[in-house]
Amino acid sequence: MDKLTLKQAIEACHAKGQKVALSFCAHVPAEILEAAGFCSMRVFHVNDIVDTSERALPRNLCPAVKEVYCLLEDEAIQAADLIITESSCDGKKKMYELVTAQDKLYYYQVPQGNERDYVRPLLRSEANYMIKTLDKRFGAKVTEEALRQAGKVMNAEREAVTALMDLQKTVPPVTTGLEIYKAWEKAQAISDRAERTAFILAERDRLAAAGTAVSADKKRILITGCPIGGVYEKVLAAVEAADGVAVCFENCEFVKANARHLDTETPDMIEALVDCYQNTPCAIMGDNDRRFALIEKLAKEYQIDGILDLALTTCHAYTVEREKMHRFCGQLDIPYLFLESDYSDTDAGQMKTRVAAFIELL
Ligand code: SF4
């Protein structure tokens, strides 16, 4: 997505009389925003944002954190009504304090562990606090019924993204990882969630109908780690220039966030939100066993030959979890490659060489 597309998406919501809430992390319970009448958009990567963070932020900070800062300082998105910041990682949490438009920010506290006693009460308290704040700031009422409806709409989108990813389960896969990622990325420009879901399903059908042009001999790669919006082109170019094909993205654009399901039949919708968002297998979690269990399951379902773990530069959560993931892949007897990268192209050549050497060994 580029800045103009994002700006036009915000304007399209305003033209329909809808306020816009932007968020940057899969931990944020967007159902609450939708139930409050907001158009909620999760921004993954904006490709023409100029890096203006030099004075405010350390040069070697995670590129995703720097990009969100620059985006929030850019006049292109000043029209957004609400910005959901969150405590996913320390870099992001502290960066949000530097943003100029503090009056537009809402801070969402993400628990840092999955299984401790405090996690569920915290998620419940955060959900209730967000609901109260939206009422106080915007007069927006969130009812159980509105949450239920928003949950249904978001579940439909999760299922559509899963259906798109599932195209790659066959041998040979239906298409390249690049085509799958691009189809999903195009959909992100659509602000209306139901329309976006329909677009993803139409893209899925288009790709399925085109039939496969991928050879069955290609080595099947699962990509895990940080969100890959800013690096996917060079990573996938490297995989596909070698004898590989990306068949599964565990990253939070795809499986990590969309394997979750919100129970819309339960009487207590806040409890349903807690169940759904507690189940986020992200490396910022102290005990992140859920990520490992998910990787094991995906490795079987997608018949994986190799795992490529991609961390953005200086992301402590994923770079430190690397060793555990490396050992885990050893136990599963699946070859593993770790890559650390940023949003520049300076390492594209080196990445190509390393990925080619890895795939050759599979
Ligand atoms: S990639 Fe890591 S450092 Fe960057 S925003 Fe995500 S959790 Fe934070």
Give the pLDDT confidence of 146-189 residue by residue, as tens digits: 999 999 999 999 999 999 999 999 999 999 999 999 999 999 99
Q: Tell me which residue has its CA closest to atom 8 in ligand 1.
A: 89
Give pLDDT, residue 347.
97
pLDDT of residue 64: 97
Q: Does domain 168-179+209-361 have CATH number 3.40.50.11900?
A: yes
Ranges for all domains in the chain classified under CATH 3.40.50.11890: 3-143
CA angle (232, 235, 237) in 5-degree steps: 100
The residues of the chain scoring below 70 in pLDDT are none
Encode the chain in three state secondary structure: CCHHHHHHHHHHHHHCCCCEEEECCCCCCHHHHHHCCCEEEECCCCCCCCCCCCCCCCCCCCHHHHHHHHHHHCHHHCCCCEEEEECCCHHHHHHHHHCCCHHHEEEECCCCCCCCCCHHHHHHHHHHHHHHHHHHHHCCCCCHHHHHHHHHHHHHHHHHHHHHHHHHHCCCCCCCHHHHHHHHHHHCCCCCHHHHHHHHHHHHHHHHHHCCCCCCCCEEEEEEECCCCCCHHHHHHHHHHCCEEEEEECCCCCHHHHCCCCCCCCCCHHHHHHHHHHCCCCCCCCCCHHHHHHHHHHHHHCCCCEEEEEEECCCHHHHHHHHHHHHHHHHHCCCEEEEEECCCCCCHHHHHHHHHHHHHHC
CA of 210 to the centre of ligand 1 (A): 36
Find the helix packing angle between 177-187 and 232-241, rounded to 10°: 160
Closest C-alpha to 244, from 304, 157, 155, 180: 304
* Ligand 1 center from residue 63 Cα (angstroms): 8
The atom number, within ligand 1, closest to the CA of 63 reads 4
**Residue 200, both tokens:** 């993803």
What does the pLDDT look like over 224-252, one tens digit per residue?
999 999 999 999 999 999 999 999 999 99
Residue 168: predicted pLDDT: 97
Neighbours of 105 (CB within 10 A): 14
Q: Whose CA is nearest to atom 2 of ligand 1?
A: 315
Rounded to the nearest whole angstrom, what is the distance from the C-alpha of residue 62 to the centroid of ligand 1? Answer: 6
What pLDDT was estimated at residue 114? 77
From atom 1 of ligand 1, which residue's Cα is the shortest distance away?
A: 226
From ligand 1's centre to the CA of 207, what distance in Å? 31
Task: Find the 40 Cα to ligand 1 centroid distance in Å.
Answer: 21
Q: So what's the pLDDT on residue 115? A: 76
| Neighbour count for residue 5 (Cβ, 10 Å) | 17
Dist. CA 313 → ligand 1 center (Å):
9
Residue 213 Cα to ligand 1 midpoint, Å, equals 35
Ligand 1 surroundings by CB, under 6 angstroms: 62, 64-65, 88-89, 91-92, 226, 284, 312, 315, 317-318
Whose alpha carbon is nearest atom 6 of ligand 1?
226
- Portions of the chain given CATH number 3.40.50.11900: 168-179+209-361
pLDDT at 302: 98
Does the structural domain 3-143 have CATH classification 3.40.50.300? no
Mutate to test the pocket of ligand 1, among 312, 314, 343 (most ligand atoms within 8 A of CB): 312
31: its two tokens: 């159902």
Q: Which mutation among 45, 62, 69 tests ligand 1's pocket best, with the greatest number of atoms within 8 A of CB?
A: 62
